[in-house]
Structure 1
Amino acid sequence: MSWLEKVKGMFSTPAEAAPPATESKPSGARLTEAAGSQSASEAGWTRLTGEGMGKQNERDLTPLAQERMQKIAEWLWQSNLLANRLVELPLAYLLAEGVTIQCKNEARQMQLNAFWNDPINNWPLKLPPRVRALGLLGEQCYICHVNEANGFVRLGYLNPRQIATVVMDPDNPEQPIGVVTKKDSKGRYNKYRVVILGEDEEHFTLRTAEIRASDFTDGDCLLYQVNKFPDGSRGRSDLLGQMDWLDAYDNFLFNELDRIEYLRSFVWDVKMTGADPESVKKYQQEFKPPAPNSTFVHNDSIELKAISPTLQAADTAESASLLRNHVLGGGTLPEHWFGGGGDVNRAVGAEMGEPTFKVLTSRQSMLKIMLEEIGRFVLWFGARGGEQPDWSSDEWKVTAVFPELQSKDVAKFAAAMQGVVTAVGQMIETGLLTEETGLKLIGDVAQRFGQAFDAKKELEEARKEHAQRKKERQAEDSFNLPADVRDALKSGQAAPAPAPAPAAQA
């Protein structure tokens, strides 16, 4: 047995079966897939992100590829300007003005405030780095620490690079049920149970509930992942598809620096007419290049010229724009967000941003769901032993409030509101539209201003206010009536006196 086979035997497990014997192949034969992409073994081709897919789940990267992806994502964010902007610009739009979680019930709002602003949790400070890491590493995992006395929740942080595997429900491959960490230097590791809001017996099969109860005994965790297939177990970085191109763009710019340096170089060309080799050699030994702003004295047989290299390079700006736009397009960012734009004006630039804001809205919706689930988890443990949470009730509803992604063109919406109000009024007056439906149309425009209301309820309140204002005006207009009638009018207990009839003329 060779030393290599001995080493392999040390790391193999008894459960592993020996591979079946296969027919030997000629040494020069090359094995390729019937259909596939460029082979990783091809000379001169190596991806920055590595190669390979997981054996256990075709939807995942191998553990080594997953770890390499995370390391490269962190490195690119720190060292590559374009990668940094691909991460930081969306982060600023999502969180720049801050985020809050709210509940209509005052007592539960106090619970959420205590959790949100706790010195250890400190979500206003820790949320931006966590959202950044979610996009870079594809995952976030928070270890739950619950005070058994009062149910107060504090969340610890588990670095995604310390996750060895995410265990999926054997009866539902879309649902993660546990997280296993990597072993430390002493061979220790932890197995955390992924939090589900409710009792395991209500949400899982008996087999899965037993696995969660018996195997994952080191505590609970909250797990959130992005960029994964439904049956994949690991999240992936937002930069995964762009890593090689980001590295290529950096290499292009560094090579361009070398080219610029070469273009600035020059040599002195000395031409000696009618000189023999001995004279040329002697002059070469004695020649000193003239210093700047100095003189060079010579006769008509000597000619001195400075020659710069002509590299015949392609248009650098065009090549740089091609690479940059390829990367920015993959991140759904318009080029004028990174200092480009060409002939883009304000109107065209605003239209080019529409796909970007749709993608940002999608990520914001995911973060909203994540924070609202964390808020419900806080209320759930706070109510342990007391009232049973009713997540369908507004009293238990948790809402994460994010800043607006883009400033609204108020003038445009104001003009639209004026036109809608005028049209609705005319249609109601002619009997073509009910007041409630007309108010719904106005409400659609009002939502662009951030105002939402129930049309039926608002109509009832508006009619009450209108009747009250009408009574007050009638009371103000009856100053010439007797005091008792005036008081009765103010209290709504009397009708206004009719106007006196004009005197008959003789």
Structure 2
Amino acid sequence: MRILDMIKGLFTVREAAGQTIDDDEEGWRRLTGDTDRDLAPVTLRRSREISAWLWQANLMANRIIELPLAYLLADGVKLEVNDPDAQAMLNRFWNDPINSMDLKLEKKVRELALFGEQCYPAFVNDHSGHVRLGYLDPALIETVVTDPDNPEQPIGIVTVKDKKGGARRYRVIVNGDEDDLFSARTREIRDTFDDGNAFYFNINGLSSGARGRPDLLASADWLDAYDDFLFGEVDRNRYLRAFVWDVTIKGANEEAVKQRARDIEAPAPNSVRVHNDSEVWAAVTPDIKSADTSESARLLRNHVLGGATLPEHWYGGGGDVNRSTGESMGDPAFKMMSMRQRTIKYMLEQIARFAIRQWAQANQKAIDFGDGDFLPSAVFPEMIARDTTRYAAALQQVIAGAAHAVSNGFISKKLALRLIATVASQLGVEIDIDEALQEAIAAEQTEKGKDVFPDPLEK
């Protein structure tokens, strides 16, 4: 039975499923309609269990999760903010013995891929505003309640009931002024979530659905089929190596054959066997007419890897790949990883903004996120080492060409700097064009002994 068939509920015994509905939601209709594109609760729960099992037991599934994780996090991540006091606070948050983000971020990103969603209850120190993060297993989330006016925005989390019949209700953290963000009706609903605040993030979801989906959901059956295929090959090779001794006794009647069968023993390796010319021994191996199955294995493997946007040479399949084509074949994979990196960056920056807000409120410090001094940024290192030689050569040619064009009056200095900045950005250097132009003009005028500097925007 295929894994997705199991997910769809094709069992002799079926599980009961339901959904928690808030009492105060009765009689209200979403402005955007009643379409719910989430997986059924049983299906979602089963998909998470299977994803975790595949990650543990299936080599290819494990690599599909772990390879992007290594590219994203192997060199570490930092939270940065311009304000030195806010930076010190973020450092305390990151290195807090409970948060331990250097250690736990890897688990959080891994489980985001495996389960499709993550929920972190936030605990705030009333005196210092220091924030610590908890963890709520997605299996314990019964319902994600969304804004009735905007199904894209989650506003509350309802957990499954405990043994005493109680469920916790967490308010989803949204960085901003509630009066500006939500209608009066939505604020009333959010007020019913009074068991604490929590971050909620999901991936692979839809605008009209509240829940995420595991990365391995679509490939689960094919990963299982590839494992079955390889185990079948192991059995086939075992059969091919098997053999039996076929013994022919010439001129013997039935009784003599039976007597010899009772007395005969298979010879041990490197032993001596002695018989007369009336007895013939032959080792017989099975001939099952099996063709080479390497192409079938490659077809099935590439079907799974293609769905995960991973090139086959990352999984040991060379194919017709050299260094040049290998680098270009990795581009789609890095684009997908960049998309996931942007999601993780958003998650970390939202958590950092909340931590800064709580710290500022506790210390009665007025801050404005429109001011770049308090706007946090999650900084990721380059996923791969850049081949700087070609960009360095291109930069040299662009500088020479731009200088020639400026000297002949074909383009302005500002446009020339813009061309140079475009190539320099590929080397990891960001150039502020206006600032660089002012400095260049100032240096030129100083060299000429002039005190008046022209407006660079006029050039």
CA distance in 1, matches of 2:184, 2:36: 27
1:321 is matched with which residue? 298
Q: CA deviation at 1:276?
A: 2.1
Q: CA deviation at 1:357?
A: 0.5
Question: Is 1:441 paired with 2:419?
Answer: yes
Question: Is 1:51 paired with 2:4?
Answer: no
2:428 is matched with which residue? 450
Q: CA deviation at 1:467?
A: 4.8
RMSD of aligned residue pairs (Cα, Å): 2.1
Q: CA deviation at 1:429?
A: 1.0
Equivalent position to 2:62, from 72, 84, 87: 84
Q: What letter corresponds to residue 161 of structure 1 in structure 2? A: A
In the TM superposition, what are the counterparts of 1:391-470 in structure 2 within 5 Å?
A: 391-468=369-446
Give 3-state SS (helix, strand or coil) of 1:297's partner: coil
Question: Is 1:63 paired with 2:41?
Answer: yes
1:75 is matched with which residue? 53
Q: What do the CA deviations read for 1:101-156 (whole angstroms, capped 9, x no partner)?
A: 11112222122112111121121111111000101011111101111222221111
Question: Is 1:302 paired with 2:259?
Answer: no
Q: CA deviation at 1:55?
A: 8.5
Distance 1:418 1:46, change over 3 A: closer
Q: Which runs of 5+ in 1 are unaligned?
A: 1-43, 472-491, 494-506
CA distance in 1, matches of 2:233, 2:183: 61
Q: Which runs of 5+ in 2 are unaligned?
A: 11-16, 20-34, 452-459
1:170 is matched with which residue? 148
- The number of residue pairs the alignment matches comes to 429
CA distance in 1, matches of 2:66, 2:254: 65
Q: What letter corresponds to residue 409 of structure 2 in structure 1? A: G
The answer (yes or no) to whether the contact 1:52–1:61 under 8 Å persists in 2 is no
Q: What letter corresponds to residue 106 of structure 2 in structure 1? A: P
Give 3-state SS (helix, strand or coil) of 1:241's partner: coil
Equivalent position to 1:188, from 162, 166, 169: 166
CA distance in 2, matches of 1:441, 1:369: 30
The answer (yes or no) to whether the contact 2:219–2:307 under 8 Å persists in 1 is yes
Question: Is 1:254 paired with 2:254?
Answer: no
Q: What letter corresponds to residue 281 of structure 2 in structure 1? A: L
CA distance in 2, matches of 1:163, 1:144: 16
Give 3-state SS (helix, strand or coil) of 1:449's partner: coil
The answer (yes or no) to whether the contact 1:52–1:62 under 8 Å persists in 2 is no
- More deviation, 313-322/342-351: 313-322
The answer (yes or no) to whether the contact 1:97–1:403 under 8 Å persists in 2 is yes
CA distance in 1, matches of 2:87, 2:446: 35
The answer (yes or no) to whether the contact 2:116–2:204 under 8 Å persists in 1 is yes
The answer (yes or no) to whether the contact 1:49–1:72 under 8 Å persists in 2 is no
Residue identity over aligned pairs, in percent, reads: 48
CA distance in 1, matches of 2:5, 2:80: 44
Question: Is 1:376 paired with 2:366?
Answer: no
CA distance in 1, matches of 2:5, 2:337: 27
CA distance in 2, matches of 1:428, 1:370: 45
In the TM superposition, what are the counterparts of 1:150-161 in structure 2 within 5 Å?
A: 150-161=128-139
Give 3-state SS (helix, strand or coil) of 2:199's partner: strand
Equivalent position to 1:93, from 71, 77, 86: 71
Q: CA deviation at 1:333?
A: 0.5
Q: CA deviation at 1:387?
A: 4.5
Question: Is 1:240 paired with 2:197?
Answer: no
Q: What letter corresponds to residue 47 of structure 1 in structure 2? A: L
Q: CA deviation at 1:258?
A: 1.7
1:344 is matched with which residue? 321
Q: CA deviation at 1:444?
A: 0.3
Q: What letter corresponds to residue 402 of structure 2 in structure 1? A: V
The answer (yes or no) to whether the contact 1:80–1:250 under 8 Å persists in 2 is yes
Q: What letter corresponds to residue 60 of structure 1 in structure 2? A: D
Give 3-state SS (helix, strand or coil) of 1:383's partner: helix
Q: CA deviation at 1:46?
A: 6.5
Q: CA deviation at 1:436?
A: 1.2
Equivalent position to 1:132, from 100, 104, 110: 110
* Larger radius of gyration between Structure 1 and Structure 2: 1
CA distance in 2, matches of 1:45, 1:218: 40
Q: What do the CA deviations read for 1:15-68 (whole angstroms, capped 9, x no partner)?
A: xxxxxxxxxxxxxxxxxxxxxxxxxxxxx6663551169997641122121111
CA distance in 2, matches of 1:265, 1:138: 46
Larger relative contact order (Cα-Cα within 8 Å, sequence gap ≥ 6): 2
Q: What letter corresponds to residue 422 of structure 1 in structure 2? A: A
Give 3-state SS (helix, strand or coil) of 2:358's partner: helix
CA distance in 1, matches of 2:386, 2:110: 26
Q: CA deviation at 1:271?
A: 1.7
The answer (yes or no) to whether the contact 2:3–2:224 under 8 Å persists in 1 is no
1:18 is matched with which residue? none
CA distance in 2, matches of 1:198, 1:348: 47
Distance 1:151 1:69, change over 3 A: same
Q: CA deviation at 1:275?
A: 2.5
2:337 is matched with which residue? 360
CA distance in 1, matches of 2:70, 2:350: 23
Q: What do the CA deviations read for 1:299-326 (whole angstroms, capped 9, x no partner)?
A: 3332110001112223232222122111
